[in-house]
Structure 1
Amino acid sequence: MKIGRTTLSATLALALVACGGGGGGSNAPPTQGGPTPTPTPTTAACAISEQIDFADRVLDEWYLFPNLLDNSANAASFSDVQSFLDARVAPARAQSFDKGFTFATSIQAENDLINSGASAGFGIRLAYDTVNNRVFLLEAFENANGFAAGMDRGTELLAIGTSSANLQTISSLMASGGPQAVVNALGPSNAGVSRVIRFAQLGGNVIETTVTKTDFALDPISDRYGTLILDDGGKKVGYLNLRTFIVSDAADQLRAAFGEFGREGVTELILDLRYNGGGLVSVADTMGDLMGQGRVGQLWSETVLRASKSSENSSELFENEVNAIQPTKIAVIGTRSTASASELVTNSMIPYVGNGMALIGSNTSGKPVGQFGFDLAACDLRVRAVTFQTLNADGNGEYFTGLASVMPNTCRADDDITKAFGDPTEDSIRVALDFLGGRTCAAPISGGAGQTAQSVGGREVLQPTRPNAAQYEIPGLY
């Protein structure tokens, strides 16, 4: 039974009609689902002042932490919506309650991403070595040109240029302008943009070739390694690598994955969410239902809004899914890029699996909050504002410093990009199997407030200063 997940009041909509905003509280699915409206094309009359006024009204009415808004921010002093939002939520950000979670994006771009996984780029996810300033692929999407050119997990980028004649080495880019210089060299996320890229594959083979950005569909669960049955000394362990919750098709892909687990009699799971920045609450709820065999009607999670919006609070109960299983042990692989819906799923399973759960790898982002989307359709503007917090069946949801603080067990492990996802010898998967098998667990994970959300071991996700809709949900995507 799903109660009130997308219910929004008409107050904001009425206010915006009065100010000529042309939009209101939208049907945009909550993130941490339903179809979203088709935006009206941007017009020349859509002034920045109008957009900032809209964002201001959203925060005043809906922001989860109203006492942590900077009311001294002068709208007239800002030339873009994101800068204004950053200033308004600065007090909450300073206390780690809103670590970049409130942002402005394109309605059309986000709708396309949600509805079909549409994105434009090379189809690679990048991170950089914070000590040696080297840039590596964390993963490659199979239906995009980066993978077709020979790039995959563990590939190192060596140089980038618009032609072979003006290649710039990664080391020179990092020395001159840091990570943003590499971002700039990769070019805009538009189909048709080409770059000559020199890269080294695992094993040392160096390739220099032209790679063109194209429109491609993000696949939430890889056909190569997304769903596997691992043999651990004769015991079958289900391995699931979920890249993102933001694409609505992830729900059906999860159903197929758990159908396979059920047919194989799997009761122990490895959920590899190491780069999963979250996405749709509706997909997270489906994933919970698929682990809820025998729990239909019991509480999965609670959604709590600010006091003035308490009438919008809701409860989510386990629903029947024909492919559901009842896992007895779950090892969740996480990093600093594990956030939002990934953490919601993990936290919500703690009351039901208890000591059979462990966080493997490193501490997670710490995002027990989610956003509603508010649309100013005439400007193709969606404001994603932090509006609710999620709690599990025990009423717990205060993991702003990361899941390590609430998990029954934690086991530190490396993110070994020299090994393929699903490889039992990859360090995080190996440690996960050790936990599930009752073998010695690695040292516990330490973590605390103030640690960055995008750190992956000794690497930082390569993220532009102003991410596009896909990069907000899938950090490091190019």
Structure 2
Amino acid sequence: MKSDANTASLPVGRNALSATLALALAACGGGGSSPPPTGGPTPTPTPSVATCAVQNQIAFANDVLNEWYLFPDLLDNTVNAADFNDVQSFLDARVAPARAQSRDKGFTFATSIEAENELINSGSSAGFGIRLSYDTVNDRVFLFEAFENAPGFAAGMDRGTELLAIGTTANNLVSVNSLMASGGPPAVINALGPSDPGVTRVIRFAQVDGTVIEASIVKADFNLDPISDRYGALIINDGGKSVGYLNFRTFFPQTADAQLRDAFQLFNSNNVDELIIDFRYNGGGLVFLANVIGDLLGENRVGQVWSRTVLRESKSSENETRLFQNEVQSLQASKVAFITTGNTASASELVINSMVPYLDPANVAIVGRNTNGKPVGQFGFDFEECDLRIRAVTFQTLNANDEGEYFTGLASTVPNTCRAGDDISVQLGDPAEASIATALDFLSGQSCTPISGSGAQGAQSVGGLETLQPERPNAAQFEIPGLF
């Protein structure tokens, strides 16, 4: 999402939207996201019934779309606000024509100001801290990742763990196989319970080595760590050649720039000039951090065009061109392989698209699966009294060659693609893992099987498994697919 959510709330400082709208330039995505207007207090609203009546919130959302939506000709103007009793359903109806053209695949949504600000500022989330996928054919659910500072990992869960049964106590465990067979993924999501601190579930699970554990796990607040201390930044010795490996989980929180600089310091100290950047599960986030990655890849490119942000014609005065800026730890890689899946979206795609003009066509590839296809981003618009933020698609991001029409994914625009699996039985960062092994082969000049087709494989596709995602994800789940 162009939820370049930079800071919790940046004042527009350019045009006022209207007296009734608080514009939160929280750019997310593109894409990425932009944060809301800076300096805004963390809302603890106690709104009056009149102020926060649903119809007032819908009217606010309608004003946002009418003035700022990137594709004004793709809004359904026949929609009657009186027919809706929640903001998200109204938004879905209004942007349906854009969604039908794959230009807004759930990118316009309503969320909580407070929850998203916590995500932007500190990476705060609540839950087990695990990311889940499912196999509908065999009715099984697996972890594709676990955050090390969260309850799931502490209980013994990690990449490749299979959930076997879920209950509120040890006496009412229901097998995941039964849940999937009776109600599909929503039944599993319901069984896991709300993402609130203190929610407890007894879960029986099998680790990769076959060890079965049954544990009572309490959901808790935890801070997202965008670069794992275990496998986030590594030097891979590939036949005597040092290859830098960066696994960037999420473009949140905004303080992740320090971790990125540390990673590139590691690469520079090992004279790395070939990189694997692993975005396979990265759903995007702050454009600010995408720009930092660009600068770190931009040695000798300071002052050249990194990306262009383009709004609708009536807002063209807001268009911006972002140039490479100086970074002490910058490097100029000769070859880069980006690992991607259908979960790779927004700010992740921005980085890839913006680097293409600066790499020899023979020396850049996406490896794994096609990306989501989100070259657009959102600004955030706040109705503070109601803790309501409207994330509306408001801009498109182009690279230095003015390319940015990858609504069906980057496979049709990146010079090289290499199809590869996502082997969840092997830890991320391991050169034997299927996608990493294929990326190393590409960097070594070996041929590969292209990613077939030009169409995006869907936001949930992770190669063989589908991401477990609620129909109405919370702020963290929208940016970090599969998070529970």
1:388 alignment counterpart:
395
Separation in 2 of the partners of 1:384 and 1:473?
Answer: 12
Q: 1:383 to 1:8 in 2, by over 3 A?
A: farther
Instruction: Tell me if structure 2 keeps the 8 A contact 1:329–1:357.
Output: yes
Separation in 1 of the partners of 2:165 and 2:304?
Answer: 54
CA-CA distance at 1:171 after TM superposition: 1.1
CA-CA distance at 1:24 after TM superposition: 1.4
Q: Percent identity?
A: 65
Aligned length: 466
1:19 alignment counterpart:
none
1:325 alignment counterpart:
331
Residues 337-376 of structure 1: CA deviation (Å, up to 9, x unaligned): 0000000000000000132100000100000000000000
Task: Please point out which of 176, 181, 185 is paired with 1:179.
Answer: 185
Task: Please point out which of 426, 430, 438 is paired with 1:431.
Answer: 438
Residues 73-114 of structure 1: CA deviation (Å, up to 9, x unaligned): 111111111111000000100110000100100001000011
What is the 5 A alignment of 1:439-478? Answer: 439=446, 441-449=447-455, 451-478=457-484
Alignment of 1:10 with 2:10, yes or no, is no
Which amino acid counterpart does residue 184 of structure 2 have in structure 1? Answer: G
Instruction: Tell me if structure 2 keeps the 8 A contact 1:401–1:447.
Output: no
1:41 alignment counterpart:
44
CA-CA distance at 1:284 after TM superposition: 0.3
Instruction: Tell me if structure 2 keeps the 8 A contact 1:333–1:428.
Output: yes
Task: Please point out which of 114, 119, 132 is paired with 1:108.
Answer: 114
1:163 alignment counterpart:
169
Alignment of 1:278 with 2:284, yes or no, is yes
2:254 alignment counterpart:
248
CA-CA distance at 1:249 after TM superposition: 1.6
CA-CA distance at 1:403 after TM superposition: 0.6
Alignment of 1:357 with 2:367, yes or no, is no
Instruction: Tell me if structure 1 keeps the 8 A contact 2:43–2:113.
Output: no
Separation in 2 of the partners of 1:334 and 1:28?
Answer: 25
Instruction: Tell me if structure 2 keeps the 8 A contact 1:354–1:408.
Output: no
Residues 297-341 of structure 1: CA deviation (Å, up to 9, x unaligned): 000000000111111110000000000001110000000000000
Alignment of 1:80 with 2:86, yes or no, is yes
Task: Please point out which of 192, 205, 209 is paired with 2:198.
Answer: 192
CA-CA distance at 1:29 after TM superposition: 3.9
1:420 alignment counterpart:
427
In the alignment, structure 2 segments of 5+ residues that lack a partner are: 1-5
2:3 alignment counterpart:
none
CA-CA distance at 1:39 after TM superposition: 4.2
* Structure 1: 4+ residue segments shifted above 6 A: none
Instruction: Tell me if structure 2 keeps the 8 A contact 1:358–1:410.
Output: yes
Q: 1:99 to 1:36 in 2, by over 3 A?
A: farther
Separation in 1 of the partners of 2:263 and 2:482?
Answer: 26
CA-CA distance at 1:391 after TM superposition: 0.5
1:408 alignment counterpart:
415
Separation in 2 of the partners of 1:410 and 1:345?
Answer: 16
2:301 alignment counterpart:
295
1:55 alignment counterpart:
61
CA-CA distance at 1:450 after TM superposition: 6.1
CA-CA distance at 1:175 after TM superposition: 1.4
CA-CA distance at 1:36 after TM superposition: 5.2
Q: 1:412 to 1:450 in 2, by over 3 A?
A: closer
Separation in 2 of the partners of 1:127 and 1:91?
Answer: 29
SS for the counterpart of 2:17 is helix
Instruction: Tell me if structure 2 keeps the 8 A contact 1:29–1:36.
Output: no
SS for the counterpart of 2:372 is coil
Separation in 2 of the partners of 1:25 and 1:227?
Answer: 37
Separation in 2 of the partners of 1:40 and 1:230?
Answer: 45
CA-CA distance at 1:431 after TM superposition: 0.4
Instruction: Tell me if structure 2 keeps the 8 A contact 1:96–1:449.
Output: no
Q: 1:332 to 1:237 in 2, by over 3 A?
A: same
Separation in 1 of the partners of 2:156 and 2:229?
Answer: 17
Separation in 1 of the partners of 2:251 and 2:427?
Answer: 21
Residues 184-239 of structure 1: CA deviation (Å, up to 9, x unaligned): 00000000000000000001111111011000000000000000000011110000
2:380 alignment counterpart:
373
Q: 1:467 to 1:51 in 2, by over 3 A?
A: same
Instruction: Tell me if structure 1 keeps the 8 A contact 2:421–2:464.
Output: no
Residues 24-63 of structure 1: CA deviation (Å, up to 9, x unaligned): 1124344416745224432133111111110000000000
In the alignment, structure 1 segments of 5+ residues that lack a partner are: 17-22
Separation in 2 of the partners of 1:371 and 1:432?
Answer: 31
Range 243-252 or range 331-340, more displaced:
243-252
SS for the counterpart of 1:12 is coil
**Aligned CA-pair RMSD:** 1.3
CA-CA distance at 1:149 after TM superposition: 0.5
Alignment of 1:24 with 2:27, yes or no, is no
Q: 1:30 to 1:455 in 2, by over 3 A?
A: closer
Instruction: Tell me if structure 2 keeps the 8 A contact 1:117–1:219.
Output: yes
Q: 1:40 to 1:114 in 2, by over 3 A?
A: closer
Instruction: Tell me if structure 2 keeps the 8 A contact 1:366–1:399.
Output: yes
Q: 1:273 to 1:314 in 2, by over 3 A?
A: same
Separation in 1 of the partners of 2:301 and 2:378?
Answer: 27
Range 220-229 or range 448-457, more displaced:
448-457
Which amino acid counterpart does residue 79 of structure 1 have in structure 2? Answer: N
CA-CA distance at 1:465 after TM superposition: 1.1
